[in-house]
Amino acid sequence: MYKLTLLLFVTWLVACKKETSEDGGGNPPATTDSFTVTVNNGYGSGKYKTGDTVHIFSVAYGTNQLFDTWTSTDATLLNGKDEWHTWFIMPARNLTFSGGLKTITSFTLNFEQIRGRDRLKPVYSYFPTGHKGFVLLLHGTSGTAQHFVNSYEYQQLIKDLVNDNFGVIITEAEESTTGIDANGDGKIRWATTPLDSTTNVDYANIKAITDTFYNRGVTNRSKLRYSAGMSNGGNFSSYLSFLFNYKAGISYCAPSGAPLAAVTTVPFQFCMARFDNNENVGPTGNANALTNSQTLTSRGICSKYYMQEHSPLYPERFARKGDISLSKSAAVFAELKSKGYLNSKNYFIGFSDALVTAYQANPASFPELNSLTLLQRLTVVEQIDLAVADHNMYSDYNRATLKFLNTQCL
């Protein structure tokens, strides 16, 4: 009996070894640990593991174009299928996305000087025929109206707004016009207090400028009014929309204030940046913005909260504005990669300040970056800041902004 049992055991062992050795090494069948993303008319193609966060980006587009939408049978995976840059969590299958552009009618902002409370103010504006309303667009600390209209990310918002039949008005803080820090806070920017249009010159100027357009018949008082601003302009947007009872307001990279969130009835959207390194925002400001948004929602006031996420750079990123060629963009990207500024997944390490400091100390050690003009180098730094999700105006949620202006929380 013992010998029979031993024989059966040996026979079973040999049979098992023979069965498992048919794959050549006794290993279990190979399993797929990554899948392919294919991006047409855009960037982000590659191999990704299930559960990875994958960013996709549209190709660059011209002044007479806008991003339209991403088409795919898997478009529902996308955080924002109508945004030029969006992201998703990788599932266990291959995916294909195609970016679409649309041609728009070109327009030119009208520039003029309009009398404010105390002096002439620089004003840029455009009102499409039959516009449904208009948006006051507000710069950040140390900004100007001219800087706003010449900045690429702001230009994308202006294009989106006008294409969606909104009028736009861009002016500047009184301190920006005079160059004088009137309230002694050490900054040149909009003054949010006192909250009235008589003693506060910034509110008075906004009222005078909009009244001028009313009086000309360019627009009328039945048109809905909105505001959107960046940083200090974002804070000003929250108070401006409250004071004049606008239809809705939006802030980029500014949390507004808890006292206002407790009383305003104006729908308000917050667009924050994950790694905002500004001394007045940072993680605390992002958290405060979320709290203020939740306060509004708890009071039955529509509010949305969006967060721009850290995203990888790609070789063509620096050509996005059109002032740097695709080949030069790839060369700068390769230089940053070779010098250790990008990690294995091409995320920029740290903030752009380290690169700027290193470049200024030894420009010759960055031959590709050094071959660019000053404005082109500023483009590189700006695109890095946007990829890092630092304190910067961004166009990643333009369509979410349009949706909020049009329908709020409906």
One pLDDT digit (tens) per residue for the chain, 410 residues? 333 333 333 333 333 333 333 333 444 444 567 999 999 999 999 999 999 999 999 999 999 999 999 999 999 999 999 999 999 999 999 999 999 999 999 999 999 999 999 999 999 999 999 999 999 999 999 999 999 999 999 999 999 999 999 999 999 999 999 999 999 999 999 999 999 999 999 999 999 999 999 999 999 999 999 999 999 999 999 999 999 999 999 999 999 999 999 999 999 999 999 999 999 999 999 999 999 999 999 999 999 999 999 999 999 999 999 999 999 999 999 999 999 999 999 999 999 999 999 999 999 999 999 999 999 999 999 999 999 999 999 999 999 999 999 999 99
Helices (H), 67-200: 145-150, 152-163, 174-178
Residue 167 corresponds to which tokens in the numbers above? 């009028």
Q: What is the pLDDT of residue 33?
A: 75
Q: In what order do the strands lie in the sheet with 46-48?
A: 46-48, 35-40, 95-103, 65-71
DSSP 243: H
**C-alpha to C-alpha distance for 392 and 402, rounded to whole angstroms:** 19
**C-alpha to C-alpha distance for 205 and 198, rounded to whole angstroms:** 10
Cβ atoms within 10 Å of 85's Cβ, excluding its own:
24
Residue 81 corresponds to which tokens in the numbers above? 């299928």
Q: How many residues does the chain have?
A: 410
**C-alpha to C-alpha distance for 158 and 150, rounded to whole angstroms:** 11
Show Cβ contacts of residue 22 under 8 Å, excluding neighbours closer than 6 positions: none
Say if residues 308 and 395 touch (Cβ distance below 8 Å): no
Q: Which of 199, 270, 277, 280 lies closest to 241 in space, CA to CA?
A: 270
What pairs with residue 58 in β-bridges?
42
The amino acid present at 61, given as its one-letter code, is Y
Indicate the pairing of strand 46-48 with strand 95-103: unpaired
Q: What is the pLDDT of residue 131?
A: 98
The amino acid present at 89, given as its one-letter code, is I
- What phi, psi does 115 have (nearest 5°)? -65, 120
Say if residues 311 and 389 touch (Cβ distance below 8 Å): yes
Asked if the peptide bond before residue 315 counts as cis, ω within 30 degrees of 0, the response is: no
Q: In what order do the strands lie in the sheet with 42-43?
A: 42-43, 53-58, 85-89
DSSP 363: G
Residue 306 corresponds to which tokens in the numbers above? 């969006």
DSSP 391: S
Q: Which of 216, 213, 188, 215 lies closest to 202 in space, CA to CA?
A: 188
Indicate the pairing of strand 166-170 with strand 224-230: unpaired
Q: What is the pLDDT of residue 320?
A: 97
Treating both helix axes as pointing N-terminal to C-terminal, what angle do 374-388 and 352-361 enclose, rounded to 10 degrees?
Answer: 150
Q: Which of 269, 346, 342, 266 lies closest to 299 in space, CA to CA?
A: 266
Indicate the pairing of strand 85-89 with strand 53-58: antiparallel
- What phi, psi does 21 have (nearest 5°)? -90, 0
CATH number, domain 110-310, options 3.10.110.10, 3.30.2010.10, 3.40.50.1820, 2.60.40.2470: 3.40.50.1820
Q: Which of 218, 163, 78 lies closest to 398 in space, CA to CA?
A: 163
Q: What is the pLDDT of residue 32?
A: 61
Say if residues 200 and 118 touch (Cβ distance below 8 Å): no
